[in-house]
Amino acid sequence: MSRVCDICGKGPMAGNTIVRHGLAKFKGGIGLHTTGITKRRFLPNVQNVRAKAENGSVSRMKVCASCIKQGKVKKA
């Protein structure tokens, strides 16, 4: 399943998960140390919506939640 918004083109982004161990300095420790970094994906909040297209017909679209909130989609 494609997780891409049909309006703005927002799609999955890459990032890292960072594992830290140790006690923070302000809690009396020697600070947090990074012990592991692995790749991860940030997926957009894409919803299936019945919306009106430019020509007036109703069709299903995959739209991200931010486009729905901004009113870029006219729901049918």
- By the 8 A CB rule, do 41 and 34 touch? no
Number of domains in the chain: 1
pTM, to two decimals: 0.75
The residues facing 60 across adjacent strands are 50
- Could you tell me the CATH number of the domain that includes residue 59? 2.30.170
As a whole number of angstroms, the distance between CA 67 and CA 76 comes to 15
pLDDT attached to residue 54: 79
Q: 20-49 pLDDT, tens per residue?
A: 999 999 999 999 999 999 999 999 999 999
Provide the domain limits for residue 63.
Answer: 13-70
**What are the residues whose beta carbons fall under 8 Å from the beta carbon of 56, sequence distance 6 or more?**
none
Q: Kindly state whether residue 5 falls inside one of the protein's structural domains.
A: no
Residue 61, strand partner residues: 49
